[in-house]
Amino acid sequence: MMASKRHRSGSNDIQPRCDAIRPKTVSAPNDSEVEEVTNVEYKPELEQHNRPIIEKDLIYNRRLKEGEARILVLSPGSGSDEIKCELKIDESLPYDALSYQWGGQEDNKLILLQNVHFAVTKNLAEALRYLRCPRSERLLWVDAICINQYDKEEKEVQVQSMHLIYEKANKVIAWLGPPSDAINWAFDSMDMVPSELQVGVPVTVVIRGYGEEALDDETSDDDNPFGELMACTYWSRAWIVQEIMCAKSLFIQCGHRVQPYDRLENAFPPGQSASAEVIPANSEMGRTCYQGEDEVKIVRRGFQMLSSKQYLDYFLDRECGLRHDNIYAFLYLLRNDVKQRRPNYQCDIRELVFKTFLKIIESTQSLHIIIIKGRQKPPCNREEAWQLDMPSWCPYLATPYQCRPIEVKNGPNLFAEKAVSSIVEKRLQIRGFVIGRVARTISQRIPPKVRGSIGWDPADVERELNHYRKCLALGLKGVPKDNESRGTSMMATTRTLLVAGQGEDHHFLEPWKSSFRDLDEQDGMFLRKILKNRISRSVCSFRLDLAVKKALKASEAAPSTKINRIALVPHTAHEGDEICVILGCSTPVVLRKIGEQYLVLGEAYIDTTSMGKFKVSVRLRDFLLQGKIDLKDKEDKDES
């Protein structure tokens, strides 16, 4: 599959490749000496070519003022004709804006810009070749060319007004790359998606007439017509979120094929299942659910703002060339929660991250941010090691999410309380109480193929049913043996696995169903939801904290026997970890005590539906979250 072979390169700025830093020997080693090695500053070939001609003012004759923009005038041409263009400073010209991935710096192409050969990445050169008109000029805005990338002052001003450039464009073109059969298949499939969708009705794309060669493993993912399209590294970029949300007219383009972006949105309806019925010319019909995790890659339009919760839940994993852009690319979209500031690429990235995340806590009066790191994969390369030294409540940037958020609707009022927090020497102090402590955990490895495939075989079904039965059995331990108590326990465990909020419809799968033949379509959806919720999570039993036991005992409306002591917790949780209610968090939080401080492991979920409404009085306490090296201390150590 192409998706597994692609290299996710950085974007938005010019950065050296780690493997291209070349060591230089300072002195030849003696028998008793260790060879001293120093790194020569490395500049990518693109910068080596472009910087000298830019410094001679052959491309940019002056720095842009605030509110100004350069427009690229792309000369007509076709096929292998040389790409020729010039720049004009006139933001009143009607133009189209390009949204694309820069691509790697190692394979560059030359274009003729201002009558000078100028280097651009291969991906940009391909885009310009397909975007130019055969007989007339085309006006474009392209960040890599229209902004002087080696003038930091100009770049910071332009980045601050980037949203205006995309808002004013006649249309925005999302460039996915050169043509391919697999992506052509996806574009054809989009034509078959209904333009008007009915709420709650699953979307089905029927694709007829494809030969078997169109469905082999080289061009499709389990017969997924959108697999290759959504595997494009374009979707991983940080800046495309703003570019897409600010566009008044948006199209996706692959080679010469163009589709309105709304067609793609319709193919991935939020909160609804979507599948394709593929009817090849020479084989039986196949059916696949193509939505899966790709839905989160689809940026929804119709508004030009993100909540900080959306940013933290879905966009911290985006890629960019400079780590600062994981924040600057979203400043305008987060303008209600993070005060708009002028980008400063000279500032310490650690201070930028700390102050931005602290501002989110202060403006939202929410501590949702502290549970995010529990969903993320820690950075493992040397260049990102600084993130491991950040305070433990700060999420990572540009690392993959390992699991989906726990989304709870109509939860207890207790979880709607505003945050009570303070900073103690760069450590976050929060308030709450302990519900209970983790006792026994159940986890099961999920084969990678099963995560994204609809085609479960009987062995897959049996594995998921066995896991479900183990969870039910764990919840029944200590429960009275009468049918009512056991039924209530099994339902509560099921709701915990489904993360079903109060008042939500749910489906209860009878645990004695044991084969593929016994399952109906609703059963299959039920098992899939449980599987998705438990990716990188465990199911645990827990012991109630003594203070909570006393509080529940004092409340006649909520005896402790009605609590189902089963929780969904991070896969890193183990016996003794504390499941807590933290003011400002919408779900329980799992903490691990280390000395006098606490490490946040992540969010948890406990079903309390059977308890109904009740009041309870529990004394709150402070938790001091573990910090790493103080930023100021680290600077002093670096200097010494």
* Whole-number average pLDDT of the chain: 81
| Residues 222, 163 share a domain | no
Residue 511 resides in a domain: yes
Where does a domain end: 265, 297, 329? 297
| Residues 186, 163 share a domain | no
Which pLDDT value is given to residue 476?
92
3-state secondary structure of 439: strand
From 30-34, 296-300, 449-453, 479-483, the region with the lowest mean pLDDT: 30-34
| Residues 223, 95 share a domain | no
Give yes or no for residue 525 having a pLDDT over 50: yes
| Residues 590, 446 share a domain | yes
| Residues 154, 71 share a domain | yes
Where does a domain end: 278, 297, 316? 297
Burial class for 66, CB neighbours closer than 10 Å (0-12, 13-18, 19+): exposed
| Residues 440, 586 share a domain | yes
Residue 551: both structure tokens together = 């509080």
Sorting pLDDT into bands at 50, 70 and 90, what band is 517? Answer: low
Sign of CA dihedral 42, 47, 52, 56: negative
Higher pLDDT, 510 or 440: 440
Residue 598 resides in a domain: yes
Domain count, the chain: 3
The predicted model gives 38-52 an average pLDDT of 79
| Residues 566, 476 share a domain | yes
Q: What is the pLDDT of residues 236-264, one digit of tens each?
A: 999 999 999 999 999 999 999 999 999 88
Phi first, then psi: give them for residue 71, nearest 5 degrees.
Answer: -115, 135
Residue 350 resides in a domain: no
Q: What is the pLDDT of residues 472-497, one digit of tens each?
A: 999 999 888 888 888 888 888 988 99
3-state secondary structure of 119: strand
Give yes or no for residue 5 having a pLDDT over 50: no
| Residues 617, 471 share a domain | yes
Where does a domain end: 240, 272, 297? 297
Residue 347 resides in a domain: no
| Residues 596, 449 share a domain | yes
Residue 631 sits at the vertex; the CA angle it makes with 629 and 634, to the nearest 5 degrees, is: 65
Which pLDDT value is given to residue 25?
43
Residue 449 resides in a domain: yes
Which pLDDT value is given to residue 216?
43
CA distances from 217 to 3, 242, 277, 312, 631 (A): 12, 34, 17, 35, 49
Which pLDDT value is given to residue 374?
94
| Residues 616, 499 share a domain | yes
Which pLDDT value is given to residue 275?
62
Residue 342 resides in a domain: no
Token pair 């602290």 is found at 358
Residue 61 sits at the vertex; the CA angle it makes with 55 and 67, to the nearest 5 degrees, is: 115
| Residues 207, 166 share a domain | no
Residue 322 resides in a domain: no
Q: How far apart are CA 363 and CA 373, in angstroms?
A: 20
The domain containing residue 95 runs over which residues?
Answer: 45-170
From 25-34, 129-138, 171-180, 396-405, the region with the lowest mean pLDDT: 25-34
From 229-243, 385-399, 505-519, the region with the lowest mean pLDDT: 505-519
Q: What is the pLDDT of residues 117-149, one digit of tens each?
A: 999 999 999 999 999 999 999 999 999 999 999
Give yes or no for residue 514 having a pLDDT over 60: no
| Residues 159, 204 share a domain | no
Q: What is the pLDDT of residues 258-292, one digit of tens each?
A: 999 998 888 887 766 666 665 555 555 455 556 55
Q: How far apart are CA 498 and CA 542, in angstroms?
A: 18
Q: How far apart are CA 362 and CA 354, in angstroms?
A: 12
Residue 468 resides in a domain: yes
Give yes or no for residue 226 having a pLDDT over 60: yes
Q: How far apart are CA 97 and CA 84, in angstroms?
A: 18
